[in-house]
Amino acid sequence: MKSYIINSNNQIELIEKEIPSIGNQQVLLKMYATSLNFRDLLTVEGSYGGKGSTGTIPLSDGVGVIEKIGSEVKKFQIGERVCPTFMPGWIDGTYTKEKARSALGAGEVQGVLSEYIAIDESALVKVPEYLSNEEAATLPCAAVTAWFSLFVSHQLQPGHIVLLLGTGGVSIFALQLAKTAGATVIITSSNDEKLAQAKKLGADFIINYSKTPDWDEEVLRLTNQNGVDIVVEVGGANTLNKSLNAVKYSGTVSMIGVLTGKESNVTTGKILSKKIKVEGVYVGSRKMFEDMNLAFQQNQIRPQIDKVFSFLEAPQAFEYLKSGKHFGKVVVSISERGQ
Ligand SMILES: NC(=O)c1ccc[n+]([C@@H]2O[C@H](COP(=O)([O-])OP(=O)(O)OC[C@H]3O[C@@H](n4cnc5c(N)ncnc54)[C@H](OP(=O)(O)O)[C@@H]3O)[C@@H](O)[C@H]2O)c1
């Protein structure tokens, strides 16, 4: 079979490998499609979570069909279409160091940019039938992260105001999910065309953060100086202080991303004087993924795919994500359904 690995030059390289054998509680998945997340860029360049990933198959997100099952597999059957979860070790309950270490496609944990993968049945989630392979491949990381942030870390209610930063994978899923819950959405972008696309998806207010560097003040103006109920904070170092300014008293800042870096001088006084809940979010559990799929099914949410690359074009898919030109998700197709 063909797989990509991360090589010592911090690039992805196509190699030939044996199709993996499966354990008694595992299945063999023939992969249909995979999708990229910002973390995959960091992983390939060696700056993700301090882990070296040379020799590892990259990417956490994908969908495939079960071709073989181990002798003790109970829940799944040959022919079912499933996604592996981002952290196979996190089924439900409290998040722990061990669960974090199980995240696919980084460190020594093999990922999904491969024609076949072997994976525990406990790490599988059935995907809604109405989604195409390319759409289903976008769910495990970005969509579950948006779900965790809005509905687990925060309890999003109709009428709440949500602030989203940029128009990448997490933010666009958060936009779609927030609108199904009856929330008002304010979204920022560096690009007016992307903002127009976000409006079509239901965004109520748009702000170009390049033209309006004090976007936090604009958010306060739009909310009668009250601020928003929740910020889905994908920016990190250079956006956090503005997010703390833009959120309301007793609001939530979901700490998700590092798009502008990891180290910053935080105005800690704002956190206590406004009693802001600042909570780290790391993707989510299998249970969250399953709950989220019900919301997708119920609302027929269609993941926003910017571009689909072929398996042989996977290096170009990484370049494209790095360019930041995308709106929503970037996908790599591996094989057609049913082939
Ligand atoms: N903690 C977790 O569980 C978790 C899960 C998923 C992702 N993440 C993190 O969340 C972040 C986003 O991930 P992603 O996969 O959604 O990324 P992505 O799809 O690559 O999105 C990147 C987009 O972010 C926007 N952006 C860049 N700099 C910005 C800034 N200064 N202010 C506002 N927006 C900015 C840009 O949007 P415009 O072009 O519209 O300006 C850019 O296209 C990354 O740091 C990633 O590592 C964390």
Ligand 1 atom closest to 236 (CA):
45
Mean per-residue pLDDT for 131-155?
98
Where would I find the H helices in the chain?
A: 38-44, 97-101, 133-136, 144-147, 169-180, 192-200, 215-222, 240-246, 268-273, 286-299, 314-323
Query: Does residue 145 have its Cβ closer than 6 Å to ligand 1?
Result: yes
Q: Given ligand 1 and candidates 87, 141, 170, which is best to mutate, with the most ligand atoms within 8 Å of its CB? A: 170
**Cα separation, 303 vs 8, whole angstroms:** 34
* Cβ atoms of residues 233 and 239 within 8 Å: yes
**Cα separation, 307 vs 322, whole angstroms:** 13
Query: Does residue 297 have its Cβ closer than 6 Å to ligand 1?
Result: no
The answer, yes or no, to whether residue 280 has pLDDT greater than 50, is yes
Question: Which residue CA neighbors atom 44 of ligand 1 most closely?
Answer: 257
How confident is the model at residue 50, as a pLDDT? 67
Q: Decide: helix, strand or coil at residue 84.
A: strand
Ligand 1 atom closest to 36 (CA):
15
**Cα separation, 11 vs 24, whole angstroms:** 34
How confident is the model at residue 303, as a pLDDT? 98
**Cα separation, 251 vs 11, whole angstroms:** 41
How confident is the model at residue 48, as a pLDDT? 81
Q: What is the pLDDT of residues 181-207, one digit of tens each?
A: 999 999 999 999 999 999 999 999 999
Measure 281 CA to ligand 1 centroid, in angstroms.
14
**Cα separation, 144 vs 139, whole angstroms:** 7
How confident is the model at residue 65, as a pLDDT? 97
Q: What is the pLDDT of residues 69-84, one digit of tens each?
A: 999 999 999 999 999 9
Query: Does residue 166 have its Cβ closer than 6 Å to ligand 1?
Result: yes
Across the chain, what does the average pLDDT equal? Answer: 96
Buried b (16+ CB within 10 A) or exposed e, 140-162: bbbbbbbbbbbbbbbebeeebbb
Q: Give Cβ neighbours of residue 147 (< 8 Å, ≥ 6 apart).
A: 173, 177, 284, 288, 289, 291, 292, 295
Q: What is the pLDDT of residues 234-276, one digit of tens each?
A: 999 999 999 999 999 999 999 999 999 989 899 999 999 999 9
Query: Does residue 100 have its Cβ closer than 6 Å to ligand 1?
Result: no
**Cα separation, 181 vs 277, whole angstroms:** 21
Query: Does residue 163 have its Cβ closer than 6 Å to ligand 1?
Result: no
How confident is the model at residue 52, as a pLDDT? 79
Q: Decide: helix, strand or coil at residue 66.
A: strand
Measure 259 CA to ligand 1 centroid, in angstroms.
5
Query: Does residue 189 have its Cβ closer than 6 Å to ligand 1?
Result: yes
Q: Given ligand 1 and candidates 34, 37, 215, which is best to mutate, with the most ligand atoms within 8 Å of its CB? A: 37
How confident is the model at residue 278, as a pLDDT? 97
What is the distance of C-alpha 125 from the center of its chain?
16
Could you tell me what percent of the chain has a pLDDT over 70?
98
Give the closest residue to 174 by CA, choosing from 153, 206, 144. 144
Mean per-residue pLDDT for 211-227?
98
* Cβ atoms of residues 159 and 226 within 8 Å: no
Measure 71 CA to ligand 1 centroid, in angstroms.
41
Q: Given ligand 1 and candidates 34, 35, 36, 38, which is best to mutate, with the most ligand atoms within 8 Å of its CB? A: 38
Q: What is the pLDDT of residues 159-169, one digit of tens each?
A: 999 999 999 99
How confident is the model at residue 335, as a pLDDT? 85
Measure 198 CA to ligand 1 centroid, in angstroms.
15
Query: Does residue 141 have its Cβ closer than 6 Å to ligand 1?
Result: yes
The answer, yes or no, to whether residue 338 has pLDDT greater than 90, is no
**Cα separation, 333 vs 314, whole angstroms:** 9
Q: What is the pLDDT of residues 26-59, one digit of tens each?
A: 999 999 999 999 999 999 998 887 667 899 999 9
How confident is the model at residue 90, as a pLDDT? 98
Query: Does residue 239 have its Cβ closer than 6 Å to ligand 1?
Result: yes
Question: Which residue CA neighbors atom 22 of ligand 1 most closely?
Answer: 168
Query: Does residue 254 have its Cβ closer than 6 Å to ligand 1?
Result: no
How confident is the model at residue 339, as a pLDDT? 41
Query: Does residue 235 have its Cβ closer than 6 Å to ligand 1?
Result: yes
